[in-house]
Structure 1
Amino acid sequence: MSIEIKVPSLGESETEATLIAWLKKEGDAVAVDDVLAEIESDKITMEITALDAGVLKSVLKKVDDIVEPGEVIGVIDESVQIEKSDVKAATAEEVSEEVVQPVVEKIKPTVVVETTLTDEEDDSNSEAVVISRPEPPVSSQRVEERVPMTRLRKRIAERLKSAQNTAAMLTTFNEVNLQAVMDLRTRYGARFQEKHGVKLGFMSFFVRAVSQAISQYPALNAYIEAEDIVYHNYVDVGIAVSTDKGLVVPVLRDAHLMGLAEIEKGIADLAGKARDGGLTPHDLKGGTFSITNGGIYGSMLSTPILNPPQSGILGMHNIQKRTMVENDAVVIRPMMYLALSYDHRLIDGADAVRFLVAVKEALEYPAGLTLNL
Structure 2
Amino acid sequence: MSETNTSIQIVMPKLAESVVTATVAKWLKQPGDFVEEYEPICEMITDKVTAELPSTATGTLKEILVEEGDTVEVGTVLCMLVDEAAGSTPAVADSSKQDVQSSTSTATTKSDVASVTTKQDSAMKKRYSPAVRKLADEHDIDLSLVTGTGMGGRVTRKDVKQYIASGASSASIPRRREEIIQAAPEAMASPTVEPTQVQSVVQSPTEHHGEVIDGQYEVPIHPIRRIIAERMKQSVTEIPHAWTMVEVDVTNLVQLRSKHKQTFLEKEGVPLSYLAFVMKALVQATKKYPMLNATWSEESIKVNKDVHISLAVGTDDTVSVPVVKHADRKNIAGLSHDIYELTMKARSNKLSPSDVQGGTITLNNTGSFGAIMSQPIITYPQAANVTFESIVKRPVVIDDMIAIRHMVNVCLSLDHRILDGVICGKFLQEIKHQLESYDVNTNIF
- Normalised to the residue count of structure 1, the TM-score between the two structures is 0.82
Instruction: Give yes or no for the alignment of 1:74 onto 2:140.
Output: no
| SS of equivalent residue, structure 2 residue 10 | strand
2:431 to 351, 359, 371: 359
Deviation digits for residues 138-166 of structure 1 (CA, Å, limit 9, x no counterpart): x9963434455344333322332232233
Residue 339 of structure 1: CA displacement? 0.7
CA contact (8 A) 2:69 2:223 kept: no
Stretch moving more, 67-76 or 257-266: 67-76
- In the TM superposition, residue 52 of structure 1 has moved relative to its aligned partner by 4.6
Cα distance change of structure 1 residues 281 and 369 upon mapping to structure 2, 3 Å threshold: farther
Cα shift at 1:15: 1.6
- Between the aligned partners of 1:69 and 1:313, the Cα distance in structure 2 is 32
Structure 2 partner of 1:10: 15
Structure 2 match to 1:39: 44
What TM-score do you get using the length of structure 2 for normalisation? 0.69
Distance 1:122 1:96 in 2: 32
More helix by share: 2
- Shifted more, 54-63 versus 273-282: the winner is 54-63
* The one of 22, 33, 44 aligned to 2:27: 22
How big is the shift at 1:127? 4.8
Q: Which blocks of at least 5 consecutive residues in structure 2 are unaligned?
A: 1-5, 92-109, 124-184, 199-203
Q: Are residues 370 and 320 of structure 1, via their aligned partners in 2, closer, same or farther at CA, if it must alter by over 3 Å?
A: closer
- Measured in 1, the distance between the counterparts of 2:376 and 2:59 equals 49
CA shift, 1:263, in A, is 0.9
Change (3 A) 1:189 1:151: same
SS in 1 for 2:419: coil
Equivalent residue number for residue 105 of structure 1: none
- Is the contact between residue 259 and residue 440 of structure 2 (CA under 8 Å) also seen in structure 1? no
What pairs with 1:84-233 in structure 2 (closer than 5 Å)? Answer: 90-94=116-120, 124=189, 127-131=193-197, 142-233=214-305
1:287 to 328, 346, 359: 359
* Aligned-partner residue type, residue 311 of structure 2: I
2:206 and 2:229 map into 1 onto residues whose CA distance is: 26
In the alignment, structure 1 segments of 5+ residues that lack a partner are 98-119
Which of 255, 267, 281 is the equivalent residue of 2:327? 255
Superposed, 1:292-307 pairs within 5 Å as: 292-307=364-379
d(CA) in 1 for partners of 2:212, 2:80: 49
What is the CA-CA distance between 1:330 and the residue it aligns to?
Answer: 1.9
Q: Which AA in structure 1 matches 2:231?
A: R
Shift, 1:334, TM fit:
1.7
Give the direction of change, closer, same or farther, for the CA distance of 1:96–1:291 in structure 2 (3 Å limit): closer
Report which stretch shifted further, 87-96 or 268-277. Answer: 87-96
Does 250-259 or 46-55 show the bigger shift? 46-55
- Contact kept in structure 2, 1:16 and 1:69, CA below 8 Å: yes
Q: How far apart, CA to CA, are the structure 1 residues paired with 2:385 and 2:26?
A: 34
| Distance (whole Å) between structure 1 residues aligned to residue 117 and residue 256 of structure 2 | 49
Q: 1:171 Cα shift?
A: 0.9
Cα offset, 1:288, TM superposition: 0.9
> How many residue pairs align between the two structures?
347
| 56-65 vs 281-290, which moves further | 56-65
Is the CA contact (8 Å cut-off) linking 2:195 and 2:315 kept in structure 1? no
SS in 2 for 1:337: strand
Instruction: Pick closer, same or farther for the CA change 1:27–1:256 going to 2, 3 Å.
Output: same
Higher gyration radius (CA)? 2
Q: CA deviation at 1:324?
A: 1.4
Contact map agreement 1:315 1:340 (CA 8 A) in 2: yes
169 and 7 in structure 1: CA distance in 2 versus 1, 3 angstrom threshold: same
Percent of paired sites with the same residue:
33
1:241-252 alignment runs, 5 A limit: 241-243=313-315, 245-252=317-324
